[in-house]
């Protein structure tokens, strides 16, 4: 998919979203990390939190933050799994996780119905 | 060789004739029938290992091994700087090993040898506490790891530990394993594998390296060829003098002694066999270069997780759930993932700062991060 097509898709997805204003996010893990994650997030929580059984996931090739000064709409966008995924943000999240995402070397996202439920931000030294 | 022919008297003569220095005795193993004894083994060597066994002539009856290679001298000083002896049953005045177990009539020696080494390593490296009680499930390692009573290999056991760890004995008792002979652990076993998931393992056939790791890390796992006379071993420095190859066996190595020219090993044949350590039998010493221990098989060395430590992060992650309150900071440092649950304020504060850093130094205790230093 070309850059042009990617952003055309974004335009289309954003148009639809801002008509309704609803949202969600997430990413895949290395085998060793997967096991560590399973130890920390116990089984029920893992499914509930990561939605591993139901959600799709992928590494984002792009991440955007939309911010309207004329309304309280703030949206995180991630292009992953050949589509744009999104999540509505609060102002606190713009100051928090959105900044972390912007600094990350890699972003993995999990989503369902294109709503991002979970984000994993990677820093690789 | 039948039992009648294999009398203790004849064995004593052979030992004397060969100038060996060990004592035979009637043991719980020597009293078994040949087929019952073989069930107490269970190492299935790789083709490469079998190739070395053949090359060294270890597959021939002892009496026909006249030209038997003796690659290690009886006294074989290790690399410069190594002590002439280490015995984890008595190190710093404490016993760092766990009690002798009995694998019974199942070829589960690989699970027992591996767990024996792991239990000791956890006491030595992870908990740094000789008095700590550690009893892990051999049944889980064997039956959930893909092994069976027909035999297994150390590579598979170590791979399973690296991928999964192993729960405590009470989660999947060995007696239960022997009755079901299938993977039937407790339902919450994944929550009971505390610190047993090993970061890495390796195998070496370099004797200096074996000794170095025995000193610097702790007990290791090895394989050996078992001959008929080994079932009658009751003490001393073993070397085979009589009988045929009965099969291959896995044991834990808990030390070495250059003065006696031997490895010190822990077996899994109960306490009715072997040399006593204090009050408990079940141990043996074996001469360097014998039975393929340090040439055909070498030793398997496991790294175990450390509870406390520090190091530079290679990767740093921030997990953020939009549907729950879960926010987790992860750092890969010291060859393992360390974690810390963080608040929203910490996501906006320290997490962001760490993402901007050029380097991050991490300290942890029990897998959890206790300190981070962001360096630009």
Contact A121 B197 (CB under 8 A): no
- Residues shown for chain B: 376
Answer whether B29's CB lies under 8 Å from B35's CB.
Answer: no
Task: Decide if pLDDT at B172 tops 90.
Answer: yes
As a three-state string, the secondary structure of A4-38 is HHHHHHHHHHHHHHHHHCCCCECCCCCHHHHHHHH
Q: Enter the pTM of the model.
A: 0.71
Is residue B249 flagged as an active site residue? yes
Nearest CB to B344: which of A25, A92, A118? A92
Domain of B327, in residue numbers: 308-375
* Cα three-residue angle B39-B40-B41, rounded to 5 degrees: 90
Min Cα–Cα distance to chain A from B216, Å: 26
Q: Is residue B295 located within the same domain as residue B314?
A: no
Write down the catalytic residue from B109, B149, B171, B250.
Answer: B109
Nearest CB to A35: which of B163, B191, B322? B163
Residue A123 in contact with partner chain B when CB distance is under 8 A = yes
**pLDDT at residue A49 in the model:** 52
**pLDDT at residue B337 in the model:** 83
Is residue B106 flagged as an active site residue? no
Min Cα–Cα distance to chain A from B227, Å: 41
φ, ψ of residue B13 to 5 degrees: the values are -65, -45
Q: Considering only B109-123, B150-164, B329-343, which range has the smallest mean pLDDT?
A: B329-343
Min Cα–Cα distance to chain A from B49, Å: 30
Residue A3 in contact with partner chain B when CB distance is under 8 A = no
Q: What is the pLDDT of residues B298-327, one digit of tens each?
A: 999 999 988 888 999 999 999 998 988 889
**pLDDT at residue B52 in the model:** 94
Q: Quick check: is B1 in a domain?
A: no
Could you tell me how far CA B258 lies from the centroid of its own chain?
Answer: 21
Task: Decide if pLDDT at B352 tops 90.
Answer: yes
Using only the alpha carbons of chain A, give its radius of gyration.
Answer: 15
Please name the residue of chain B whose CA is at the shortest distance from the CA of residue A31: B163
Residue B190 in contact with partner chain A when CB distance is under 8 A = yes
| Range B190-208 average pLDDT | 92
Q: Quote the CA–CA distance of B143 and B336 in Å, as a whole number.
A: 26
Give the model's confidence band at B355: pLDDT under 50 very low, under 70 low, under 90 confident, else very high. very high
Q: Is residue B231 located within the same domain as residue B314?
A: no
Query: Burial level of B66, CB count in 10 A (0-12/13-18/19+)?
Result: exposed
Residue A40 in contact with partner chain B when CB distance is under 8 A = yes
Could you give the angle at which helices B109-121 and B154-163 cross, rounded to 10 degrees? 50
Q: Quote the CA–CA distance of B243 and A3 in Å, as a whole number.
A: 76
Name the residue with tokens 């649950």. B341
Q: Is residue B79 located within the same domain as residue B205?
A: yes
Q: Is residue B235 located within the same domain as residue B343?
A: no
Please tell me the total count of domains within chain B: 2
Residue B73 in contact with partner chain A when CB distance is under 8 A = no
Q: Is residue B178 located within the same domain as residue B219?
A: yes
Answer whether B201's CB lies under 8 Å from B302's CB.
Answer: yes
Q: What is the pLDDT of residues B45-82, one digit of tens each?
A: 999 999 999 999 999 888 877 555 454 444 455 566 89
Q: Is residue B230 located within the same domain as residue B205?
A: yes
The beta-carbon contacts of B351-357 under 8 Å, at least 24 apart in sequence, are B351/A96, B351/A100, B351/B318, B352/A96, B352/A99, B352/A100, B352/A103, B354/A123, B354/B316, B354/B329, B355/A100, B355/A103, B355/A104, B355/A121, B355/A123, B355/B316, B355/B318, B356/A103, B357/A123
Q: Is residue B286 located within the same domain as residue B338?
A: no
Q: Quick check: is B287 in a domain?
A: yes
**pLDDT at residue A38 in the model:** 64
Q: Quick check: is B2 in a domain?
A: no
Q: Is residue B282 located within the same domain as residue B325?
A: no
Please name the residue of chain B whose CA is at the shortest distance from the CA of residue A24: B322
Using alpha carbons, select from A1, A38, A14, A8 the residue that is nearest to residue B337. Answer: A38
Q: Quote the CA–CA distance of B272 and B177 in Å, as a whole number.
A: 22
Interface test with A, best of B305, B318, B336 (most A CBs within 10 A): B318
Name the residue with tokens 């407790």. B186
Contact A45 B326 (CB under 8 A): yes
On chain A, the residues whose CB falls within 8 A of the CB of B316 are 122-123, 125
Could you tell me how far CA A117 lies from the centroid of its own chain?
Answer: 7
Q: Quote the CA–CA distance of B143 and B160 in Å, as a whole number.
A: 11
Q: Quote the CA–CA distance of B170 and B294 in Å, as a whole number.
A: 34
Answer whether B161's CB lies under 8 Å from B196's CB.
Answer: yes
Q: Is residue B369 located within the same domain as residue B257?
A: no
Q: What is the pLDDT of residues B210-256, one digit of tens each?
A: 999 999 999 999 999 999 999 999 999 999 999 999 999 999 999 99
Q: Quote the CA–CA distance of B72 and B260 in Å, as a whole number.
A: 12
φ, ψ of residue B22 to 5 degrees: the values are -140, 160
Q: Is residue B288 located within the same domain as residue B368?
A: no
**pLDDT at residue B72 in the model:** 47
Using alpha carbons, select from B231, B199, B222, B347 the residue that is nearest to residue B297. Answer: B222
Is residue B250 flagged as an active site residue? no
CA distances from B366 to B122, B177, B287 (A): 13, 30, 39
Q: Is residue B206 located within the same domain as residue B314?
A: no
Residues 292-331 of B with CB under 8 A from A: 312-324, 326, 328, 330
Q: Where are the domains of chain A?
A: 3-122
On chain A, the residues whose CB falls within 8 A of the CB of B351 are 96, 100
What are the structure tokens assigned to B247, written together? 């099969």
Contact B324 A48 (CB under 8 A): yes
Please name the residue of chain B whose CA is at the shortest distance from the CA of residue A89: B322
On chain B, the residues whose CB falls within 8 A of the CB of A122 are 315-317
Q: Is residue B259 located within the same domain as residue B368?
A: no
Nearest CB to B190: which of A43, A116, A123? A43
CATH classification of the domain holding B163: 3.90.70.10
What are the structure tokens assigned to B215, written together? 């000193």
Residues 51-90 of A with CB under 8 A from B: 87
ipTM of the complex: 0.71
As a three-state string, the secondary structure of chain A is CCHHHHHHHHHHHHHHHHHHCCCCECCCCCHHHHHHHHHHCCHHHHHHHHCCCCCEEEEECEEEEEECCCCCCEEEEEEECCEEEEEECCHHHHHCHHHHHHHCCEEEEEEECCEEEEEEEEEEC
**pLDDT at residue B354 in the model:** 96
Q: Quote the CA–CA distance of B11 and B241 in Å, as a whole number.
A: 8
Query: Burial level of B188, CB count in 10 A (0-12/13-18/19+)?
Result: exposed
Name the residue with tokens 């170590």. B158
Name the residue with tokens 């004739």. B17
On chain A, the residues whose CB falls within 8 A of the CB of B319 are 37, 118-120
Residue B368 in contact with partner chain A when CB distance is under 8 A = no
Per-residue model confidence as pLDDT tens for chain A (125 residues): 676 776 676 666 666 665 654 333 333 345 466 666 666 665 445 545 555 545 688 999 999 999 888 888 899 999 999 899 999 999 999 999 999 999 999 999 989 888 999 999 999 99
- Residue where one domain finishes, among candidates B241, B269, B302: B302
**Biggest alpha carbon–alpha carbon distance for chain A:** 45
The mean pLDDT value of chain B amounts to: 92
Q: Considering only B272-281, B299-308, B328-337, which range has the smallest mean pLDDT?
A: B328-337
Reduced to 3 states (helix: H, G, I; strand: E, B; else coil), residue B45 is coil
Four-residue CA torsion sign, B174, B178, B180, B183: positive
Residues 12-31 of A with CB under 8 A from B: 24-25
């Amino acid at each position: 998919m070309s850059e042009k097509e990617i952003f055309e898709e974004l335009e289309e997805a954003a148009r639809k979203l801002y008509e309704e204003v609803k949202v969600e996010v997430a990413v895949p893990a290395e085998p060793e990390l997967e096991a560590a994650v399973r130890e920390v997030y116990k089984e029920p929580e893992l499914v509930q939190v990561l939605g591993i059984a139901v959600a799709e996931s992928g590494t984002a090739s792009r991440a955007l933050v939309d911010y309207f000064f004329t309304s309280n709409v703030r949206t995180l966008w991630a292009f992953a799994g050949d589509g744009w995924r999104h999540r509505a943000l609060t102002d606190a999240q713009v100051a928090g996780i959105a900044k972390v995402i912007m600094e990350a070397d890699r972003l993995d996202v999990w989503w369902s119905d294109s709503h991002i439920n979970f984000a994993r931000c990677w820093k690789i030294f | 060789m039948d039992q009648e022919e294999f009398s203790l008297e004849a064995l004593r003569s052979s030992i004397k004739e060969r100038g060996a220095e060990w004592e035979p005795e009637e043991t719980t193993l020597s009293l078994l029938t040949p087929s019952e004894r073989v069930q107490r083994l269970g190492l299935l060597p790789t083709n490469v290992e079998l190739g070395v066994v053949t090359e060294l002539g270890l597959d021939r009856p002892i009496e026909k091994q006249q030209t038997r290679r003796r690659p290690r001298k009886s006294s074989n000083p290790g690399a410069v700087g190594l002590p002439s002896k280490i015995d984890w049953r008595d190190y710093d005045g404490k016993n760092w090993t766990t009690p002798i177990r009995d694998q019974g009539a199942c070829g589960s020696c690989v699970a027992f040898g591996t767990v024996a080494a792991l239990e000791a390593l956890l006491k030595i490296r992870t908990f740094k506490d000789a008095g700590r009680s550690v009893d892990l499930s051999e049944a889980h390692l064997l039956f959930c790891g893909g092994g069976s009573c027909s035999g297994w290999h150390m590579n598979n056991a170590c791979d399973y530990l690296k991928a999964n760890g192993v729960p405590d004995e009470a989660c999947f008792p060995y007696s239960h394993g022997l009755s079901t002979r299938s993977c039937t652990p407790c339902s919450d076993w994944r929550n009971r594998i505390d610190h047993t998931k090993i970061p890495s393992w390796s195998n070496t056939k370099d004797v200096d390296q074996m000794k170095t790791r025995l000193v610097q890390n702790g007990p290791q796992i090895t394989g050996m060829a078992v001959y008929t006379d080994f079932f009658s071993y009751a003490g001393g420095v073993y070397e085979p003098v009589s009988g045929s190859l009965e099969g291959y066996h896995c044991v834990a190595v808990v030390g070495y002694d250059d003065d006696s020219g031997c490895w010190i090993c822990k077996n899994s044949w109960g306490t009715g066999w072997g040399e006593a350590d204090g009050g408990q039998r079940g141990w043996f010493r074996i001469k360097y270069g014998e039975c393929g221990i340090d040439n055909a098989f070498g030793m398997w060395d496991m790294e175990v997780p450390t509870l406390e430590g520090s190091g530079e992060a290679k990767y740093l992650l921030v997990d953020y759930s939009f549907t729950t309150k879960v926010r987790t900071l992860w750092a890969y440092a010291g060859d393992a993932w360390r974690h810390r649950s963080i608040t929203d304020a910490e996501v906006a504060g320290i997490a962001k700062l760490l993402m901007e850093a050029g380097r991050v130094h991490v300290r942890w205790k029990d897998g959890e991060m206790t300190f981070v230093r962001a360096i630009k």
